[in-house]
Structure 1
Amino acid sequence: MTIVIFIFFVALLAGIPVFIALAGSALYYTHFVAFIPDFVVLHRMAGGLDSFPLLAVPFFILAGNLMNSAGITNRIYDFAVAVAGWMRGGLAQVNIVGSVIFAGMSGTAIADAAGLGTIEIKAMKDHGYSTEFAVGVTAASSTLGPIIPPSLPFVIYGMMANVSIGALFLGGVIPGLFMTASMMIFVWWCARRYNMGRDQVFRWKVLGLTFISALPALLTPMIIILGMTFGWFTPTEAAIAACTWALILGFVLYRSLTWKQLYKVTLDTIETTASVLLIVAAASLFGWVLTTTRLTELAAEGLLSITTNPYIILVLVNILLLIVGCFLEPIASISILVPVLMPILLKVGIDPIHFGVMMTLNLMIGLLHPPLGMVLFVLARISGMTVERTTVAILPWLIPLLFSLVAITFIPELTLWLPRTMGLVK
């Protein structure tokens, strides 16, 4: 089994796509070590995709792409300016508020960074903010995308861990708001230290007009959350409802979406979905190999022989996830690590819903750092800065993110209170 892990990491370091590294290393074991028939291998890979919750993946991706293409991000941004632009460091606060709203539609950090980030960074630079500060706050706020529901990583985690995706969505609400408060307090501190001013005067009329303009878009997260909470939708049906509503906004209400844009958005969605499902299929085979060789069982026994203290285990797992998140994108990390870590966590009494939110935040922080941080590269391209300058700009924003991670890790009720109150968790 050592050679399988070695092949996987060598392939990653060589720059080979993740799904090829996963599948290639697993196929080495099945063909040259265990001599497993091809039809069994194909069955395992296909079985990894044979999951009803996975149907939500393309629809959540499509909904986020439609929101970006239909001009909805501009209305969200204008409303966020009316809400928070009057504060000190106003546009930095607007950046965070806008991400909170857009997080309820996109479900991914990259969509948040690419969609709102383009508008936010330009606006902040035009108002005299440094490019580094604009990029840093945009990077930090983009991590809200997969924490505040809906969330693509939550869908994959729910399938891999066999837990309620609806409970995961509700579990992300309070942690997402806690992260928002942490980042806004950090902006307030920066504004006081560097004597930043307010970017506009608060006006009720402007707030009302921008709210009315953005209201149809603001209804999207409410449709998703309320629909699942009251049992009107499954997660997959909620994703389809979000897409339907996005099409209504783009074609009927705002009339900002064209058939040409829809064609492009559809192709982008197919491409992204295919890459996600390839990773899931390859990771399913890789995970099966790990289980077959008893590596997951040995890992659990090894860690539990060192300590059974759940808090120490959470610290060790956090460190592992922060490191892995810098090298693997979130879908691959979740697909590989959940089968390995879940037996350990269940034995020491850690709730899988709590761990799902914690794991996702760890992996989102990993997206901000080299060598493979996708949000880092997106923001470097948008801002025109080098990857090195972008990395340095993001570093101070790890303070509120790591503070939030510690709180979410060691205060499980931040995650579990809402789904428990709604009867989704015992």
Structure 2
Amino acid sequence: METAALAGLVLVVGIAVLLVVGAAISVAVGLSSVLAMFVVVGFDNGALTAAQQMFRGINSFALLAIPFFVLAGVIMSQGGIALQLINAGKVLVGRVPGSLPQTTVAANALFGAVSGSSIAAAAAVGTTMSPLAAKGGYDKNFSAAVNVASAPAGLLIPPSNLMIVYSLVSGTSVAALFMAGYLPGLLWALACSVVVYLYVRRRPELRETQRVGFRQGARVLLVALPSLMLIAVVIVGILAGFFTATESAAIAVFYSAIQAAIYRTIKLRDLPAILLEATKITAVVMFLIAASTIMGFVLSFSQIPELAAEAVFAFSENPVVILLLIATILLVIGAFMDATPAVLIFTPIFLPIVTSFGVDPIHFGIVMIFNLCIGTITPPVGTVLFVGANISGQPIEGIVRQLLPLLGALTICLIIVIFTPGLSLWLPGLFGLLP
């Protein structure tokens, strides 16, 4: 018992100290886990066991989906697909008051869903829509805040790499998670749209609309249809049993590459840079997963999940109170840690607690991802926030002030998702994906 306690202490303190001195999260997790492993099995066997755990962590067929979806996202980001989806967004919400920021919300939801990356969505959509919104008389900080707040919807609307990572850690079905994310993802986009509507309602000079004729709108949607069809190809193929989630990722690469070739938006000389970018992103994620596997071994040995469960049970035995408590903790964690490492680190700790109360792992996965998506737009470490600020050229402080109503609306949506499991479980149940 003393060895387990010492290993847990080395792990927790090591991660905290390394993060404070500015080490990368993957390095902090990996190095601290190896040091704790030395405590668990001794120095002689520690390095060998750590290497075995790292190999075991990434030796998974399901993980092949991550590099493929990353590559597909990079191809889409650099293939001009964002502009097609922005034009489609204009057609869909052009008659709604405040159509410029409403288009930003719609385009982010569409592009995020196609690319699976909130950062790519914020960068691609913000680059195009920020100048247009400024010309339309909108406050630049408000336009940037709308772009930042709406971009993470793509992490909930599949395909989503974050769902694949959660599936790996929790042992849940990727297909079920994909279907579970649709309604919460649409709720996220709707919340942003409502805040925009309330904003322009108090400013009559901003109630512009973009009336698009039927023929022009049909033409725009027809051009964007191949990009939107990627979502249908991936999801329908998985549900129909034509291919697995991993195979669907490879199909997404093939589909996006063919589309880029047809539209001639990517040249052969661009491929090395595209492949290098995808490799860099994939390497970071894979190393983090490998390092987190060592951490999982140490956590299991040191019984940290059991200790956390006992502490939570001592606080309350009400499932609703427990979910709200964990959601609050995750909101704080998300403000200081990127979403992927947070899923890898805290799923093994919190999942056993909530399942002991009868909470469905799929529902908890969506709650967790929704929490951490809010974290990506929250200072001080919100990655999407900083990307959006960089694209807009506006100071963080000004954007955050305009972001507060959007954060409030998204927090209300989080509470709705927590108290309404049907939002997450209805579609997976409808398609027979729940056990």
Asked if Structure 1 and Structure 2 have the same fold, meaning a TM-score greater than 0.5 normalized by the shorter chain, the answer is yes
Correspondent of 1:231 among 241, 245, 251? 241
Larger mean CA deviation between 125-134 and 242-251 belongs to: 125-134
What's 1:13 paired with?
20
Correspondent of 2:220 among 192, 210, 229? 210
What's 1:145 paired with?
154
- The answer (yes or no) to whether the contact 2:191–2:406 under 8 Å persists in 1 is no
Residue 95 of structure 1 and its aligned partner are, at CA, apart by: 0.9
Larger mean CA deviation between 324-333 and 29-38 belongs to: 29-38
Whole-Å separation in 1 of the counterparts to 2:380 and 2:50: 31
What's 2:79 paired with?
70
Residue 4 of structure 1 and its aligned partner are, at CA, apart by: 2.4
What's 1:57 paired with?
66
What's 1:2 paired with?
9
Residue 189 of structure 1 and its aligned partner are, at CA, apart by: 1.2
Residue 232 of structure 1 and its aligned partner are, at CA, apart by: 1.2
Tell me the alpha carbon deviations over residues 234-285 of structure 1, each in whole angstroms, 9 at most, x when there is no partner.
Answer: 1111111111110110012x11111122221111000000000111111111
SS at match of 1:326: helix
Whole-Å separation in 1 of the counterparts to 2:369 and 2:117: 11
Letter of the 1:182 counterpart? A
- The answer (yes or no) to whether the contact 1:45–1:284 under 8 Å persists in 2 is yes
Correspondent of 1:23 among 19, 30, 34? 30
Residue 180 of structure 1 and its aligned partner are, at CA, apart by: 2.1
Larger mean CA deviation between 413-422 and 22-31 belongs to: 22-31
What's 1:374 paired with?
383
Task: Give the 5 Å matches for 1:221-370.
Answer: 221-252=231-262, 254-370=263-379
Larger mean CA deviation between 304-313 and 229-238 belongs to: 304-313
Larger mean CA deviation between 23-32 and 225-234 belongs to: 23-32
Residue 78 of structure 1 and its aligned partner are, at CA, apart by: 1.1
What's 1:190 paired with?
199
Whole-Å separation in 2 of the counterparts to 1:29 and 1:417: 42
SS at match of 1:181: helix
What's 1:165 paired with?
174
Letter of the 2:227 counterpart? A
Residue 373 of structure 1 and its aligned partner are, at CA, apart by: 1.1
Task: Give the 5 Å matches for 1:90-109.
Answer: 90-109=99-118
Whole-Å separation in 1 of the counterparts to 2:423 and 2:379: 30
Q: Percent identity?
A: 33
Larger mean CA deviation between 301-310 and 226-235 belongs to: 301-310
Residue 296 of structure 1 and its aligned partner are, at CA, apart by: 1.1
Correspondent of 2:129 among 120, 125, 131? 120
Larger mean CA deviation between 217-226 and 389-398 belongs to: 389-398
Query: Per the alignment, do residues 390 and 190 of structure 1 end up closer, same or farther by CA in structure 2, a change over 3 Å counting?
Result: closer
- The answer (yes or no) to whether the contact 2:195–2:405 under 8 Å persists in 1 is no
- The answer (yes or no) to whether the contact 1:379–1:390 under 8 Å persists in 2 is no
Whole-Å separation in 2 of the counterparts to 1:49 and 1:219: 31
Residue 148 of structure 1 and its aligned partner are, at CA, apart by: 0.4
What's 1:176 paired with?
185
Whole-Å separation in 2 of the counterparts to 1:246 and 1:384: 30
What's 2:5 paired with?
none
Letter of the 1:227 counterpart? G
SS at match of 2:402: helix
SS at match of 1:87: coil
RMSD: 1.3
Whole-Å separation in 2 of the counterparts to 1:179 and 1:370: 19
Residue 390 of structure 1 and its aligned partner are, at CA, apart by: 2.8
Larger mean CA deviation between 153-162 and 111-120 belongs to: 111-120
Tell me the alpha carbon deviations over residues 168-192 of structure 1, each in whole angstroms, 9 at most, x when there is no partner.
Answer: 0000011112222222222111111
SS at match of 1:202: coil
Residue 99 of structure 1 and its aligned partner are, at CA, apart by: 1.6
Give unmatched runs, 5+ long, in structure 1.
none
Q: Give the TM-score taking structure 2 as reference length.
A: 0.95
- The answer (yes or no) to whether the contact 2:108–2:121 under 8 Å persists in 1 is yes
Whole-Å separation in 1 of the counterparts to 2:277 and 2:322: 40
Tell me the alpha carbon deviations over residues 279-324 of structure 1, each in whole angstroms, 9 at most, x when there is no partner.
Answer: 1111111121111111111111221233221101100110110011
Tell me the alpha carbon deviations over residues 16-35 of structure 1, each in whole angstroms, 9 at most, x when there is no partner.
Answer: 10011001111221225641
Tell me the alpha carbon deviations over residues 34-88 of structure 1, each in whole angstroms, 9 at most, x when there is no partner.
Answer: 4151211100111111111111001111111111111111111111112212211
Larger mean CA deviation between 223-232 and 186-195 belongs to: 186-195
Whole-Å separation in 2 of the counterparts to 1:353 and 1:165: 9
Whole-Å separation in 2 of the counterparts to 1:397 and 1:344: 30
- The answer (yes or no) to whether the contact 1:368–1:391 under 8 Å persists in 2 is no
- The answer (yes or no) to whether the contact 1:58–1:273 under 8 Å persists in 2 is yes
Whole-Å separation in 2 of the counterparts to 1:28 and 1:237: 37
Deviating runs (4+, > 6 A) in structure 1?
none
Letter of the 2:285 counterpart? V
Residue 142 of structure 1 and its aligned partner are, at CA, apart by: 0.6
Whole-Å separation in 2 of the counterparts to 1:105 and 1:177: 14
- The answer (yes or no) to whether the contact 1:85–1:198 under 8 Å persists in 2 is no
Residue 388 of structure 1 and its aligned partner are, at CA, apart by: 2.6
